[in-house]
Amino acid sequence: MATKKTKAVCAPLTEAEPLRRALRERNLLRDDVEIVKEGECIYFPVKDVPGDLCSYKVMTKSFTLKAAKPHCYKDRLKLSKKLMEELPTSYDVVGAIILIKLPKTLFRHRKEIGKALLETHKNIRTVCLIDPVSGELRTRNVAIIAGENQTLTTHIEYGLSFDVDVETTYFSPRLASERKRVADCVKPGEIVVDMFAGVAPFSIMIARYAKPKIVYAIDKNKEAVLLAQQNVKQNHVLDTVEIIHADANDVEKVVPTKADRIIMNLPFSAYNFFSLALSIAAQTCIVHYYDIIKEEDIEARIDVLKKIAAEHRYILPDLSIRKIKSYAPREFYIGIDITATKHADVA
């Protein structure tokens, strides 16, 4: 196969994903040659090497040229100009599966779109049309529009592997950096509770990249729990992560000790469970709270959380709000790092 020599940045496997994202965001990653994995290192072909990347090993290396083909699935479609303008510019990739949402106007062209996506992504085996996540079990309607009749896949993230069924469980690949950020915040010996664990990506990331005493991963969805158990095993964290099949409403019954850190990844509904989270919180507890909310409603939501905290004799002296991604016009997926401290007079 044809090769090309170019500048390259070498990163350990554990640091490869954040580096890839950074290179992509800064338009430094070459897209005409293949990324190379050799042993525990990943070699990224780059256009240039800024000074802030000089901490990585930099070299000149031969890379395999990519086969010439359209870079974008849109280039393979022959639709009217109006419909072309309505094609999604982004979609989720979970393992070997693409998840895409389409407006009703494009529904009749769904199979053409699925085929185009399949043809422009060599590692993709299935393309699914999806509805928003809904219900207590956080599932969604999934329709396969191209490729294999398969909704189970293995997703790789920061060197970890997660088995995910995109039809029966909830998983967001867009939270990869957020999961690693939270893991980096965990202090040695902490007791962590993941109240809505799904297939346990947060819990496993924490167990592998931090040194918690234990992580309790809770979920009501039986299918998610079964996959979480498999994920814990294949990522070698059986001694650190305890998977619990239970409703978050029963968290006081199933978690035998107070938590130093709690993860609440339940967009739209997490605030309904904040009271329960505080019922298992230590005297000082960090809560990683996630929500999908309109920008103008964020302050009101903060007021609700403070009111709930006061009812449990907690104060929230430190809240850090981040917009993680856009969900709809003026509506965002937000993360709030909350420090909850119990009043001294009831300590």
* CATH of residue 249: 3.40.50.150
Dist CA 67 CA 120 (whole Å) = 11
Do 322 and 314 contact (CB within 8 A), yes or no?
Answer: no
Of the candidates 112, 165, 176, 105, the one whose C-alpha atom is nearest the C-alpha of residue 139 is: 165
Whether 189 maps to a domain, the answer reads: yes
DSSP state for residue 113 in the 8-state scheme? H
* 136 lies in the same domain as 183: no
Whether 167 maps to a domain, the answer reads: no
Rounded to two decimals, what is the model's pTM?
0.78
Number of domains the chain is built from = 3
DSSP state for residue 237 in the 8-state scheme? -
Whether 183 maps to a domain, the answer reads: yes
pLDDT tens string for the chain (347 positions)? Answer: 788 899 999 999 888 888 888 888 777 888 888 999 998 899 999 988 777 677 788 889 999 988 765 668 898 899 999 999 999 988 999 999 999 999 999 999 999 999 999 999 988 999 999 887 666 666 678 999 999 999 999 999 999 999 999 999 989 998 999 999 999 999 999 999 999 999 999 999 999 999 999 999 999 999 999 999 999 999 999 999 999 999 999 999 999 999 999 999 998 889 999 999 999 999 999 999 999 999 899 999 999 999 999 999 999 999 999 988 887 778 888 999 999 999 865 44
Which residues span the domain enclosing 48? 3-64
* 44 lies in the same domain as 137: no
Dist CA 297 CA 294 (whole Å) = 5
Whether 163 maps to a domain, the answer reads: no
**Predicted local confidence at residue 144, as pLDDT:** 96
Look up residue 312 and give its two tokens: 């449990």
* 35 lies in the same domain as 109: no
* 186 lies in the same domain as 287: yes
Dist CA 208 CA 173 (whole Å) = 18
Whether 124 maps to a domain, the answer reads: yes
* 114 lies in the same domain as 183: no
* 239 lies in the same domain as 337: yes
SS3 content of the chain, % helix, strand, coil (to 5): 35, 35, 30
Q: What is the largest CA-CA distance in the chain?
A: 72
Whether 88 maps to a domain, the answer reads: yes
**Predicted local confidence at residue 135, as pLDDT:** 63
* 189 lies in the same domain as 107: no
Dist CA 76 CA 275 (whole Å) = 51
Whether 162 maps to a domain, the answer reads: no
Of the candidates 131, 129, 133, the one whose C-alpha atom is nearest the C-alpha of residue 143 is: 129
* 209 lies in the same domain as 302: yes
Only one residue has tokens 């309904």, namely: 272
* 56 lies in the same domain as 185: no
**Predicted local confidence at residue 27, as pLDDT:** 78
* 132 lies in the same domain as 59: no
* 127 lies in the same domain as 184: no
Dist CA 338 CA 286 (whole Å) = 6
**Predicted local confidence at residue 268, as pLDDT:** 85
* 185 lies in the same domain as 247: yes
